[in-house]
Amino acid sequence: MEETNELIQERIKKLQRLKDSGVDPYGVSFDAKDKAREIIDKYGHIAKEEFETKNDNCTIAGRIVAMRDFGKACFAHVQDITGKIQVYLRKDILGEGYGLLKNIDIGDIVGLTGKVFKTKTGELTLEVKDISLLCKSLRPLPEKWHGLKDIETRYRQRYVDLIVNPNVREVFLKRSKAIKSIRNFFDSRGFIEVETPMMQPVPGGATARPFKTHHNALGIDLFLRIAPELYLKRLLVGGYEKVYEINRNFRNEGISTKHNPEFTMLEFYIAYADYQYLMNFTEEIITYVCKDVAGDLRVTYTISEDKEEIIDFTPPWKRLTMAEAMEAYGVDPSVFKDLAGAREFAVKNRIDIDKNASHGKVLDEIFKEKVEPYLIQPTFITDYPLELSPLAKRKKDNPELVERFELFIAGREVVNAFSELNDPEDQKGRFLKQVEARQAGDEEASFMDEDFVRALEYGMPPAAGEGIGIDRLVMILTNSSSIRDVILFPQLKPEA
């Protein structure tokens, strides 16, 4: 971090010269009335000749990203949040102010006012009348042509990535837009946005290993939440009928292109609705967000280097039960009969399964291996085995299945939703089952949450609840192949 090289030394010298000449190299506030993009939009279509009689001035602030020096004149590009615009500095116009240029580098942040015109080659340009340095930059930016490619540097020094890679800026603008769009959607439909604990004494609402932390004053261990579910349902008990939360979940598991230890989840609950209602509702939300962010219901997604797919969000989306989907992708229906049948199929197809795995778990494994990767277009899968869903309501006609669906897009689970179990006795029994599984060594099994059962005993209206993985959704909307490309500061090992 302390490294200094010749290029930095040069800039420090310039910094000193600026100070010596009475220039504040770290500027003050600057009223940048105009934006690069707006200027280009406003004047771009006007013919070059017309500028000869015009005298329109604009004021912008931004970072110098390119410079072409001619001795007594200089072209540069200045970049602000909206984009880049060329500026033209002339000694005969700037007079003494032109001397500032000697100590200015690519990367410096400047504010300037100039007359709008078009160059010989037709590029809209500001002929600078006044320039002030707002911030001297001490480190050289990556090369102008190849930019910053090194993935590690891009993630570790995201600020540099954002300066030089416009597509990266674009991705995170889209992410912000997607989240705003989701809020609009829910707010306009009578939901209230809530915040529930990130630090929980009993981690629940999902099957995953939690992070543990400690509160000194209370003298207790707490867990970073793996899901907000149990708290949001407590709010249904409390009388709120439509709630949503957009916030971070934390899971103490592997890191991959699809997993970051902290990730953003949207969860929402609707009293008196069920999972069937939610499927339609999900189509509505996602098409709403997709239109807003991508401008179209069809988006291109790069599945792998040599495989690109157009994902079409035009509803209705395909709906299959887990069993139907398995059959459609060539899984022998005998797997549903019993554990032995499922196990046999798994072994035959070289699917790794834990030797203690239950029937439901084995089915889940087979599904993940044989079906999930092929669900490219948005597809709802319904009717999951009870034991995989300790918080979901049983199906009336088959109590071993639950009223649940997951939505798959591009071969990935993006949504998980179900009719919420509101029978306290059943819930308590399911918790106990989970506790048993935990004692038998399943580290992901849930803990008993006594207070949640107590809440259900007061009565929770029948309700439907859903979780949407925001990072994964944004990946699809921005054609990003790694979750790290949609998280500003993804988790990495500390720099050596």
Of 16, 17, 50, 70, which one interacts with RNA (CB under 7 A)?
A: 70
CB neighbour list of residue 491: distance below 8 Å, 6 or more residues apart: 255, 260, 261, 262
Supply the minimum distance, in Å, between the C-beta of residue 294 and RNA. Answer: 21
Supply the minimum distance, in Å, between the C-beta of residue 378 and RNA. Answer: 14
Supply the minimum distance, in Å, between the C-beta of residue 450 and RNA. Answer: 23
Of 63, 225, 395, 472, which one interacts with RNA (CB under 7 A)?
A: 472
Q: Which of residues 320-349 bind RNA (CB under 7 A)?
A: none
User: Considering the rule CB under 7 A, would residue 92 count as an interface residue with RNA?
Assistant: yes
Which has the closest alpha carbon to 295: 123, 174, 458, 142? Answer: 174
Size of interface with RNA, in residues (CB under 7 A): 78
Q: Which of residues 192-221 bind RNA (CB under 7 A)?
A: 206-208
Q: Which of residues 249-268 bind RNA (CB under 7 A)?
A: 251, 253-254, 256-261, 263
Q: Which of residues 100-129 bind RNA (CB under 7 A)?
A: 105-106, 117, 119-123, 125
User: Considering the rule CB under 7 A, would residue 79 count as an interface residue with RNA?
Assistant: no
What are the residues facing 300 on neighbouring strands? 310
Supply the minimum distance, in Å, between the C-beta of residue 487 and RNA. Answer: 9
User: Considering the rule CB under 7 A, would residue 75 count as an interface residue with RNA?
Assistant: yes
Q: Which of residues 357-386 bind RNA (CB under 7 A)?
A: 365, 368-369
User: Considering the rule CB under 7 A, would residue 64 count as an interface residue with RNA?
Assistant: no
Q: Which of residues 228-247 bind RNA (CB under 7 A)?
A: none
User: Considering the rule CB under 7 A, would residue 471 count as an interface residue with RNA?
Assistant: yes
Which span sits near RNA by CB under 7 A: 4-12, 279-287, 329-337, 451-459?
4-12
User: Considering the rule CB under 7 A, would residue 295 count as an interface residue with RNA?
Assistant: no
User: Considering the rule CB under 7 A, would residue 481 count as an interface residue with RNA?
Assistant: yes
Instruction: Write the binding mask 13 to 52 for RNA: x where contact by CB under 7 A, - elsewhere.
Output: -x--------------------------------------
